[in-house]
Structure formats: structure tokens, C-alpha cells
Structure 1
Amino acid sequence: MDFASVFALFVITILFAVIVCAIVALGSLPGKIAQGRNHPHVDAINVASWIGLALGGIFWPIAFIWAFIPMGRSGAAEGAEVDALRKQVAQLQEELATLKNASA
């Protein structure tokens, strides 16, 4: 084998490795985004991404967009609601204690 053949084989091997790395990076991207955003459907998004790539990339954008769809309420609104519910429970416990003392 001459130098040109060895060099061509080296270039083809490097290109193949780059393509494989790019496919792996694209396949795992929606799952990583969903996991970083604490999405409740991380596993489903990850599977949809890989199946989408296996089918020629047709459904991959759906998984990518799905990873960005917000699920549930924001943390601040949820925290305020939890605080309000805790206050209600405390008031009800006080009223229950008052009723128990009045009946005894």
C-alpha cells in the first residue's frame, strides 16, 4: 500500500468517527435538555429522539420541541400555593383543638 491509500483510509476512518459522534450527540440532545429542565417525560423524550433518528430524522424535531414544552407550574407559584395550604392546615388544627377543648 502506498502513502495515498493509507492516508485515504485514515481520512475515511476519521470521517466515520466524526459522523458517529455527531449522531450520538444529536440522539441524546433532547433527552439531556429534558433532564436539565426536570421534564416529567425524560425517558419518553429520549426514546422518541433515538427512534426519530433511526427513522431518518423525521420525528427527531418532535422530541426536540417536546423537551422544551413546560410541564406543570412554575416553582414560585407552586411554593406560594404550598405556603397557603400550610397556613390553612394550621388554622384548621387550631380550630379542631378549640372544638376538642370546648367539648371536654
Structure 2
Amino acid sequence: MSLIDIFAWIVLIVLAATLVAIVVALGTMPGRIARKRGHPWPEAVTVGSWATLVFGFVFWPLVLIWAYVDVPERRGTPR
């Protein structure tokens, strides 16, 4: 193996580790935001985030928006 081959393997390993770190960060971000903001269903936001990342990333922005949305409390029965 030449020095170029070793350098190429090192670059490949660093890129793979970076990709894994980015996916983990994106998977946990909406859940952490929901917990920090006191969302009523932070576990559901976390599961939704991981599910959308596994199945194609299409709805992940919607889960991120859901992490910021607070459900208003009921004020009682209307008169």
C-alpha cells in the first residue's frame, strides 16, 4: 500500500464518521428542542424524527416544526 492509499482510507473513515455524527445530531435535535420547550409529547417528536430520517428524510422538517409548536391548554368549558 502506498501513502496515497493510506491517506484515502483515512479520509474515507473520517467522512463516514462525520456522516454518522450528522445523522445522529439530526435524529436527536427535534426531541431535544421539544423537551427544552416543554412540549406535551416530546417522545413522539423524537420517534417521529428518527422514523422520518430512516424512511427518507421527507417529513423531517415537519417534525422539526412540530417540536416548536405548543398545544394550547383548555381553559374550561365554554358558556
**Fold equivalence (TM over 0.5):** yes
RMSD: 1.3
Question: If each structure's helix is expressed as a fraction of its own residues, which one has the higher value?
Answer: 1
Partner of 1:79: none
Q: Counterparts of 1:55-66 in structure 2 under 5 Å?
A: 55-66=55-66
SS at match of 1:23: helix
Higher relative contact order (CA 8 A, sep 6+): 2
Q: Which runs of 5+ in 2 are unaligned?
A: 74-79
Q: Deviation of residue 56 (structure 1)?
A: 1.3
- Percent identity for Structure 1 against Structure 2: 41
Between structure 1 and structure 2, the one with the greater Rg is 1
Q: Structure 2 CA distance, aligned partners of 1:47 and 1:30?
A: 10
Task: Provide TM-score, normalisation by structure 2.
Answer: 0.88
Q: Counterparts of 1:1-104 in structure 2 under 5 Å?
A: 1-73=1-73
Q: Deviation of residue 19 (structure 1)?
A: 0.6
- The size of the alignment, in residue pairs, is 74
Q: Which runs of 5+ in 1 are unaligned?
A: 74-104
Query: 4+ residue stretches of structure 1 with deviation over 4 A?
Result: none
Residue identity opposite 1:42 in structure 2? P
Partner of 1:85: none
